[in-house]
Amino acid sequence: MDWLDEVKWDAQGLIPVIAQEVGSNDVLMFAWMNREALGKTAELGRAVYWSRSRGKLWFKGEESGHVQTVHDIRMDCDNDVLLLKVTQTGHEPGIACHTGRHSCFFQKYEDGAWKTVEPVLQDPATIYQGKQAAS
């Protein structure tokens, strides 16, 4: 059996993926992969996702330069969620979010409201130079 056949793809042929930073264990982002994206990620050792908004493969960092080097690909007990252990490169500290932040999880629920608790490390306008940022 092909290792990709063991993955429980959803009705659209996708699986949710969490990217976690090696060392800090920060959860950087959430994305989707299809069979081709997962195969390319394993082959290349860098994160390749499926962009639902663009309807195509998305090589993380193709526009921003913020590439994710993949050290580990793990699957949960139900075979329906993946965890990538990555090193985020392209800026120090690494930027994973299209908002210019280290992590996409920069909003914290506190006292009945969402508060921004992580700083912008680089202005997205300088990252994408007028290109539309889509995650």
Please give the average per-residue pLDDT across 106-123, as a whole number: 95
Establish if 134 belongs to a structural domain.
no
In which residue are the tokens 């994973």 written?
Answer: 96
* Residue 55: CATH number of its domain: 3.10.20.810
Q: What is the pLDDT of residue 127?
A: 86
Establish if 117 belongs to a structural domain.
yes
Establish if 60 belongs to a structural domain.
yes
Picking from 75, 100, 106, the residue whose alpha carbon sits closest to that of residue 88 is: 100
Please give the average per-residue pLDDT across 8-12, as a whole number: 98
The domain tally of the chain equals 1
Q: What is the pLDDT of residue 129?
A: 67
Establish if 34 belongs to a structural domain.
yes
Establish if 62 belongs to a structural domain.
yes
The 3-state secondary structure of the chain, one letter per residue:
CCHHHHCCCCCCCEEEEEEEECCCCCEEEEEEEEHHHHHHHHHHCECEEEECCCCEEEECCCCCCCCEEEEEEEECCCCCCEEEEEEECCCCCCCCCCCCCCCCCCEEEECCEEEECCCCCCCHHHHHCCCCCCC
Q: Which residue has the higher pLDDT, 95 or 92?
A: 95
Q: What is the pLDDT of residue 134?
A: 45
Instruction: Flag whether pLDDT at 8 surpasses 60.
Output: yes
Structural domain boundaries enclosing 95: 3-128
pLDDT digits (tens, 9 = 90+) for 49-90: 999 999 999 999 998 889 999 999 999 999 999 999 999 987
Establish if 133 belongs to a structural domain.
no
